[in-house]
Amino acid sequence: MVYRKSPIYTNKKTWYNVGMVLDKQKFRGSGEWKKKRKTILNRDHNRCVVCGSNHDLQVHHINSIDTHPMLRLEDSNLISVCKKCHEAIHNNLYSPIFLMSKIK
């Protein structure tokens, strides 16, 4: 893991986990994340689970890694989405329940 001692403050690039902080940039560059990302894209047949596109695919955390860091590598919390749908998700156009229903 890429943990370091937790500061008193927070920002969008760090996660808290029982007094530890996980650096998001290091996590996203880790072999652990890259392997999981490939697994999720393969599971979802390299398609956006919302619209079916196969362009600009990203892997989205249904439950935010800011609030649920322990779910960051759980298959049940990850889905493949295109960039357009990912932006829509972050604009609250799709509910977590809808997104969870798309996991096969």
Mean pLDDT over residues 53-61, rounded? Answer: 97
Q: For the chain, how far is it from start to end, CA to CA, in angstroms?
A: 28
Among 22-26, 36-40, 61-65, the range with the most confident prediction by mean pLDDT is 36-40
Phi, psi of 13 (to 5 degrees): -100, 5
Among 3-7, 22-26, 85-89, the range with the most confident prediction by mean pLDDT is 85-89
Of 63 and 16, which is predicted with more confidence?
63
Q: How far apart are CA 7 and CA 58, in angstroms?
A: 30
The whole-number pLDDT of residue 82 equals: 98
Contact present, 80 and 41 (Cβ < 8 Å):
yes
Of 86 and 7, which is predicted with more confidence?
86
Confidence of residue 18 (pLDDT cuts 50, 70, 90): very low
The mean predicted confidence, pLDDT, of the chain is: 84
Distances in Å between the alpha carbon of 62 and those of 6, 19, 23, 39, 82? 25, 24, 19, 16, 14
Q: How far apart are CA 80 and CA 58, in angstroms?
A: 6
Q: Which uninterrupted H or E stretch holds 81?
A: strand 78-82
